[in-house]
């Protein structure tokens, strides 16, 4: 009997000892969002800024593929991924799917950056470790980048719309269509601009060059605003915004803000880059690129001749896309050459044809071509402007969008019977529930 009592006590003791040690190991691998939004330090906020800038590059090459392939600037041949030549071109009766990588991946990556911007805004707002001016700097940056990312998704989905208000994952705002969405993005940029007006920038940016301070960031913000103005056909506003941006008719075409790449720890490479004359996985120019180019145009070097013609599934090309010439080559976010063309477009649309032609000629002569000698009509100049933009911003994610704005998608070449030129991507399936 004594023994049973002893055993009983032992068991009780064992359970008590055991009970007292419930382990919670926390997160052994990564920083958690919760720990950042309570009271972040400046260095933690800087981590969020760099993460945001870094995140701009995720799936960027897929975005360029989407716009370049549908806009008939290029093909992406891959032995292991047929959908670049089927779905995106409408080959063999295929259509764009709402569950495939070409829309779901870039869409999600852009909204990841939007989320990071929202966390940055919340963390900066809650932080007591920074000054008010510093806070404005963080918030202005977050608002500007958020607007840029929303625009990129809207470029893909167009009339299918985007969500603007995504702060609360459990209570997302409605999907708004393109006119409303463009206005919302514009106003977000305006908020960003006013934040920069009295901002103290204490973070380091990688691809912003001289535009890393408050004044430069405001100029970058206005450059994006000018692009949006043109998309909204607000021609005069575009000219005003260009005036506040880094736009310069005499400046370097490549002055601007870029996504930069590197081989460092945790950094990303430019995955659009493929060496010349590869086989298998390649990006080649659409044959019309070389067929349509004016003789002497130095932009022919953006698509170099291959040793052997590449072909896949009824498509072929003899030129490699050679816009990004190394795995660390930067990709423009916005640069002066585009601003000059936006300036041309706004002026032509405002019927200031001479200012328009002037800008076009800066582009033409800058690329080893003679000055424009065609008709001085608004429509002829629009055609010329679109043509210059096609070559100046080749494979930078523009042509499909520009032709869509002017209802000219039907002018794009069809390579195979049954191929289609899509006007927009469906919303990812997860958005449609």
**Closest distance of CB 173 from another protein, Å:** 9
Q: Which of residues 214-243 bind another protein (CB under 8 A)?
A: none
Touching another protein, residues 275-304 (CB under 8 A): 275, 278-281
**Residue from the set 246, 253, 272, 273 that interacts with another protein by CB under 8 A:** 273
Q: What is the largest CA-CA distance in the chain?
A: 114
Cα gap 32→26, rounded to integer Å: 10
Residue with tokens 């301070």: 213
Q: Which residue has the tokens 């970058």?
A: 220
Ranges within 315-344 binding another protein (CB under 8 A): 315-316, 318, 327
Q: Which residues inside 392-431 make contact with another protein, applying CB under 8 A?
A: 428-431
Based on CB atoms, which residue is closest to another protein, 112 or 358?
A: 112
User: H or E segment at 259?
Assistant: strand 256-259
Does the protein bind another protein through residue 12 (CB under 8 A)? no
Residues 6+ away with beta carbon under 8 Å from 21: none
Cβ-based nearer residue to another protein, 52 or 245: 52
Total residues binding another protein (CB under 8 A): 107
Closer residue to another protein (CB): 248 or 271: 271
| Beta carbon nearer to another protein, 39 or 377 | 39
d(CA 205, CA 203): 7
CA distance 216 to 245: 8
Tell me how far apart the alpha carbons of residues 410 and 416 are, in angstroms, rounded to a whole number.
15
11 binds another protein (CB under 8 A): yes
Within 86-177, residue ranges assigned H as helices are 101-126, 132-157
Tell me the window of 94-102, 211-219, 370-378, 382-390 that interacts with another protein (CB under 8 A). 94-102
**Closer by beta carbon to another protein, 271 or else 358:** 271
* Window 25-84: residues binding another protein (CB under 8 A): 25, 27-34, 36, 46-55, 57-59, 62, 78-83
Least gap, CB of 235 to another protein (angstroms): 31
The nearer residue to another protein, 267 or 292, going by C-beta atoms, is: 267
Spatial distance between the Cα atoms of 310 and 77, rounded to a whole number of angstroms? 8
The residues in 95-134 that bind another protein, with binding defined as CB under 8 A, are 95, 97, 99-101, 104-105, 107-108, 111-116, 118-119
- Identified binder of another protein from the candidate list 156, 193, 260, 339, rule CB under 8 A: 260
Residue 105 CA to chain centroid, in angstroms?
12
Task: Name residues whose C-beta falls within 8 Å of residue 274's C-beta, 6 or more positions apart in sequence.
Answer: 281, 282, 283, 320
71 vs 106, which CB is nearer to another protein? 106
What is the 3 state secondary structure string of 312-343? ECCEEEEEEECCCCCCCCCEEEEEHHHHHHHH
Assess 268 for contact with another protein (CB under 8 A). Answer: yes
Shortest Å distance, C-beta 189 to another protein: 19
CA 419 and chain centroid, separation: 26
Q: How far apart are CA 161 and CA 153, in angstroms?
A: 9
Residues 343-382 that bind another protein (CB under 8 A): none
């Amino acid at each position: 009997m004594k023994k049973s009592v002893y055993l009983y006590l032992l068991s009780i003791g064992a359970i008590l000892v055991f009970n007292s040690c419930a382990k919670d190991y926390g997160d052994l691998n990564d920083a958690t969002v919760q720990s950042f939004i309570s009271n972040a330090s400046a260095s933690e906020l800087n981590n969020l800024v760099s993460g945001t800038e870094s995140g701009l590059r995720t799936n960027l090459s897929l975005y360029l593929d989407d716009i370049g392939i549908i806009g008939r600037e290029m093909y992406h041949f891959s032995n292991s991924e047929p959908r670049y030549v089927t779905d995106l071109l409408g080959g063999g009766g295929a259509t764009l799917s709402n569950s495939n990588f070409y829309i779901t991946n870039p869409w999600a990556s852009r909204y990841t950056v939007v989320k990071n911007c929202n966390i940055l805004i919340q963390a900066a707002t809650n932080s007591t470790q920074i000054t008010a001016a510093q806070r404005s700097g963080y918030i202005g940056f977050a608002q500007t980048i958020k607007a840029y990312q929303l625009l990129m998704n809207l470029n893909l989905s167009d009339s299918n719309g985007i969500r603007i208000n995504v702060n609360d994952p459990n209570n997302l705002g409605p999907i708004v269509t393109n006119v409303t969405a463009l206005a919302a993005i514009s106003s977000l940029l305006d908020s960003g601009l006013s934040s920069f007006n009295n901002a103290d920038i204490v973070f380091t940016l990688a691809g912003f060059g001289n535009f890393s301070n408050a004044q430069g960031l405001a100029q970058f913000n206005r450059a994006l605003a000018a692009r949006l103005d043109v998309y909204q056909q607000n021609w005069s506003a575009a000219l005003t915004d260009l005036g506040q941006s880094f736009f310069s008719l005499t400046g370097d075409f490549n002055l601007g803000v870029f996504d930069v790449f590197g081989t460092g720890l945790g950094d990303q490479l430019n995955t659009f880059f493929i060496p010349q004359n590869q086989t298998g996985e390649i990006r080649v120019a659409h044959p019309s690129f070389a067929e349509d180019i004016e003789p002497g145009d130095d932009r022919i070097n953006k698509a170099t001749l291959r040793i052997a013609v590449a072909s896949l599934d009824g498509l072929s090309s003899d030129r490699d896309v050679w816009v990004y010439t190394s795995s660390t080559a930067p990709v423009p976010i916005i640069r002066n050459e585009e601003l000059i063309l936006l300036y041309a477009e706004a002026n032509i649309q405002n019927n200031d044809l001479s200012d328009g032609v002037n800008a076009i000629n800066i582009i033409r002569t800058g690329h080893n071509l003679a000055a424009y000698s065609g008709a001085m009509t608004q429509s002829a100049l629009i055609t010329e402007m679109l043509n210059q933009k096609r070559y100046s911003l080749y494979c930078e994610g523009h042509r499909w969008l520009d032709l869509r704005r002017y209802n000219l998608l039907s002018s794009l070449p069809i390579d195979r019977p049954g191929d289609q030129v899509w006007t927009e991507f469906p919303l990812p399936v997860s958005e449609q529930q």
